[in-house]
Amino acid sequence: MRAKDLLLVTLREPPAEAEIPSHQWLVRGGFIRRVASGIYAYMPLMWRVLRKVEAIVREEMEATGALELRLPALQPAELWRRSDRWDTYTAGEGIMFNLTDRQGRELGLGPTHEEVVTSLAADLIRSYRQLPVSFYQLQTKFRDEIRPRFGLMRGREFIMKDAYSFHADEEDLRRYYGCMDQAYRRIFARCGLKVLAVQADSGAIGGAASQEFMAVADAGEDLVLSSGDGRYAANQERARSLPPPSAPLSVTADERFATPGQAGIDAVCAAHNLDPTQTVKVLLHRACFADGPDQPVLTVLRGDQEVNTVKLTNLLGRVLAERGVVLALERLDVDTLQAHGVELPVGFLGPDLPDDVMQGAPGLVGGFLRIVDPTAADLAGFVCGANVPDQHRRVPGWSAIGLSFTKADVRSAQPGDRCCHDPRTVLTATRGIEVGHIFQLGCKYSSALQACFSTESGSTEPIRMGCYGIGVSRLAQAVVEQNHDGNGMIWPVSIAPFEVVVTVANGEEQEQCRLGEKLYGELRAAGVDVLLDDRVERAGVKFKDADLLGIPWRVVVGRNAARGQVELKMRSARDVLDLDASRLLRHLLPRLQRQRRGSLPEVAV
């Protein structure tokens, strides 16, 4: 390819909306163009990168025995109703774009494909002899994200590789899940991405075990907590830890005391010489359902702890299962309640806040569902709000509260907490970009969509399922987030838009043009993905663009062309090697060969 033919439009300044380096560089280099919020055009350079990523993904998927197919993006609501996800995905998080066709039938644009693929399996699979089987696809997914941002990192239309496997038993599912884990590690290594495999929350997809692959980067939206000994790593959404010990507090009598204007833990602790670990705090939420009124929820944690809303939502889903799917969990809005005459002593709440305080609250029904985290439940004596403004209470123990609570871990593990597997090690925090997620789904979808098979002994059982996703477009941008400098992108050879750029320093010099053409031809003949920068531009402009585009190898045909000499430089290194043009291929090809496999140590020029 010749740079002249590329319609190369590079920008001097990053666009205002690009907050992180990879987004800025991709736009400045002309790789992507924004069409609307969260919707991007992949321009020819980006498309070359994506096709290379896809080729790696295909090879590794095929190696696990998975079969490629292509499922429809338009999916009937009826399928999603059968798995009970239509409401969660439309009315709840509202992540699924949905529409009604001219016949009045509801459809969704696929954010994921469990329903479609499981219904196909239900049609096709009859016997244990047909198992195991696994399908994958590389497809555009649609999600109406609440906050699309960071370019391809969180798009509303993006490319995903998703795979679904079907098994006769849990053991075979676990075996294949292990294969996929290995395939994922190879994919990321081959793309030149540094990832951490971490325990993950299974979210609205559901199922048992799941693991995320996090590209380590400061711009990552996820927080990973891991132990220094390498034995534990989890997304904070799911992480468990041992909380810091509480400072002992001996409370002999159940008594109230005045705390004028001291709303909240910090104010009370400061005024009464208490440690936050000697207090408990009370949070109020509403759990929203598709049908019927919301459920008020009262959660108690030790004063120094934070609630983990993912854990809390999962717990409510289990405890309130008979009410249907929990669409959302919202903090109770005190101002709205007040407008309806419900006065809450905010800042002075206690675990025994009476149910009748909520009388008249719109859209809420019944008494509180009361939840206590072990950090609070395990305290012998503590201080809490007295449920009246400007008063707190010393409580000698939970029997003095006298109500029943559901005890469950709903706290957010924090960096610095001690690890459950070894209290001598502590958790440290790393930011990560979720580039892949693998799940053991079990029978969740096969039961809902009646995907069953007959076993060897003749009984009928639901098929065990796994599902496996990679954000292909997100992954490509994550590689830039990990590999750039002040001048632009630094692509690894394995997925670079071009492996080599031949820069003719002065496009008006015949010698230079001739040698440039010759090397371009030789490199192409040797199967190298090469770009010839033969534009009539100043050398400085071409060098700047070459750095910006991040092509891993640069051959400069300049002043010494007449003597048959060129310069060779790696984008990631400083050194420049002067060498005879006749030696270029012999020098470059073995190095390229190694680098195409990805994740190898950088080879010095």
Closest CA to 286 of 327, 257, 335: 327
E-assigned strands of 57-186? 67-68, 74-76, 98-100, 106-109, 133-142, 157-167
Contact 452, 462 (CB under 8 A): yes
Q: Does 437 bind Mg ion (CB under 5 A)?
A: yes
Residue 598 contact, options ligand ATP, Mg ion, none, Cβ 5-8 Å cut-off depending on partner type: none
E-assigned strands of 152-308? 157-167, 195-199, 210-216, 222-227, 233-235, 255-258, 280-289, 295-302
3-state secondary structure 115-128: HHHHHHHHHHCCEH
Contact 454, 127 (CB under 8 A): yes
As measured in angstroms, the least distance from the Cβ of 99 to ligand ATP is: 19
Residue 97, both tokens = 């774009």
Q: Does 474 bind Mg ion (CB under 5 A)?
A: no
Alpha-carbon distance of 125 to 451, in angstroms, equals 8
Residue 528 contact, options ligand ATP, Mg ion, none, Cβ 5-8 Å cut-off depending on partner type: none
As measured in angstroms, the least distance from the Cβ of 469 to ligand ATP is: 3
By CB under 5 A, which span of 295-303, 360-368, 430-438, 509-517 interacts with Mg ion?
A: 430-438
In 320-408, which ranges are continuous DSSP H helix? 334-339, 374-377
Q: Which of residues 305-344 bind Mg ion (CB under 5 A)?
A: none
Alpha-carbon distance of 531 to 529, in angstroms, equals 7
Residue 439 contact, options ligand ATP, Mg ion, none, Cβ 5-8 Å cut-off depending on partner type: none
As measured in angstroms, the least distance from the Cβ of 233 to Mg ion is: 15
As measured in angstroms, the least distance from the Cβ of 319 to Mg ion is: 24
Residue 143 contact, options Mg ion, ligand ATP, none, Cβ 5-8 Å cut-off depending on partner type: ligand ATP
Cβ closer to Mg ion: 269 or 467?
Answer: 467
Cβ closer to Mg ion: 107 or 470?
Answer: 470
As measured in angstroms, the least distance from the Cβ of 214 to Mg ion is: 10
Contact 195, 216 (CB under 8 A): yes
As measured in angstroms, the least distance from the Cβ of 434 to Mg ion is: 6
Closest CA to 89 of 72, 116, 108: 108
Q: Which amino acid is located at 233 in the chain?
A: A
Q: Does 143 bind Mg ion (CB under 5 A)?
A: no
Residue 522, both tokens = 């030789």
Cβ closer to Mg ion: 94 or 345?
Answer: 94
User: How many chain residues interact with Mg ion (CB under 5 A)?
Assistant: 1
Cβ closer to Mg ion: 370 or 437?
Answer: 437
Cβ closer to Mg ion: 142 or 405?
Answer: 142
Task: Give residue number: closest CB to Mg ion.
Answer: 437
Residue 571 contact, options Mg ion, ligand ATP, none, Cβ 5-8 Å cut-off depending on partner type: none
As measured in angstroms, the least distance from the Cβ of 202 to Mg ion is: 9
Residue 238 contact, options ligand ATP, Mg ion, none, Cβ 5-8 Å cut-off depending on partner type: none
Contact 20, 150 (CB under 8 A): yes
Cβ closer to ligand ATP: 205 or 377?
Answer: 205
Show Cβ contacts of residue 195 under 8 Å, excluding neighbours closer than 6 positions: 185, 188, 213, 214, 215, 216, 435, 436
Cβ closer to ligand ATP: 144 or 533?
Answer: 144
Residue 492 contact, options ligand ATP, Mg ion, none, Cβ 5-8 Å cut-off depending on partner type: none
As measured in angstroms, the least distance from the Cβ of 244 to Mg ion is: 30
Contact 143, 96 (CB under 8 A): yes
Q: Does 238 bind Mg ion (CB under 5 A)?
A: no
Cβ closer to ligand ATP: 431 or 587?
Answer: 431
Residue 497 contact, options Mg ion, ligand ATP, none, Cβ 5-8 Å cut-off depending on partner type: none
Alpha-carbon distance of 520 to 536, in angstroms, equals 17
As measured in angstroms, the least distance from the Cβ of 199 to Mg ion is: 12
Residue 474 contact, options Mg ion, ligand ATP, none, Cβ 5-8 Å cut-off depending on partner type: ligand ATP
Q: Does 392 bind Mg ion (CB under 5 A)?
A: no
3-state secondary structure 466-481: EEEEEEHHHHHHHHHH
Q: For the chain, give the number of residues.
A: 605
Residue 462 contact, options Mg ion, ligand ATP, none, Cβ 5-8 Å cut-off depending on partner type: none
Residues that bind ligand ATP (CB under 6 A): 112, 143, 145, 154-155, 158, 160, 203, 434-437, 469, 471, 473-474
By CB under 5 A, which span of 56-64, 412-420, 433-441, 573-581 interacts with Mg ion?
A: 433-441
Residue 161 contact, options Mg ion, ligand ATP, none, Cβ 5-8 Å cut-off depending on partner type: none
As measured in angstroms, the least distance from the Cβ of 103 to ligand ATP is: 30
Residue 435 contact, options ligand ATP, Mg ion, none, Cβ 5-8 Å cut-off depending on partner type: ligand ATP
Q: Does 156 bind Mg ion (CB under 5 A)?
A: no
Cis ω for the linkage preceding 374 (within 30 of 0): no
Residue 114 contact, options ligand ATP, Mg ion, none, Cβ 5-8 Å cut-off depending on partner type: none
As measured in angstroms, the least distance from the Cβ of 200 to ligand ATP is: 8
- 309 to 238, 245, 260, 460: CA distances (angstroms): 10, 23, 31, 39
As measured in angstroms, the least distance from the Cβ of 23 to ligand ATP is: 12
524 exposure class (CB count in 10 Å sphere: 0-12, 13-18, 19+):
middle
Alpha-carbon distance of 296 to 366, in angstroms, equals 8
As measured in angstroms, the least distance from the Cβ of 213 to ligand ATP is: 7
Cβ closer to ligand ATP: 88 or 503?
Answer: 88
Contact 88, 514 (CB under 8 A): no
Cβ closer to ligand ATP: 165 or 299?
Answer: 165
Alpha-carbon distance of 166 to 157, in angstroms, equals 28
Task: Give residue number: closest CB to ligand ATP.
Answer: 471
CA diameter of the chain: 97
Residue 412 contact, options Mg ion, ligand ATP, none, Cβ 5-8 Å cut-off depending on partner type: none
As measured in angstroms, the least distance from the Cβ of 148 to Mg ion is: 16
- 137 to 112, 163, 240: CA distances (angstroms): 11, 6, 34
Cβ closer to Mg ion: 211 or 279?
Answer: 211
466 exposure class (CB count in 10 Å sphere: 0-12, 13-18, 19+):
buried
Identify the bridge partners of residue 298 per DSSP, sorted by sequence position. 284, 370
Residues contributing to the site for Mg ion (CB under 5 A) = 437
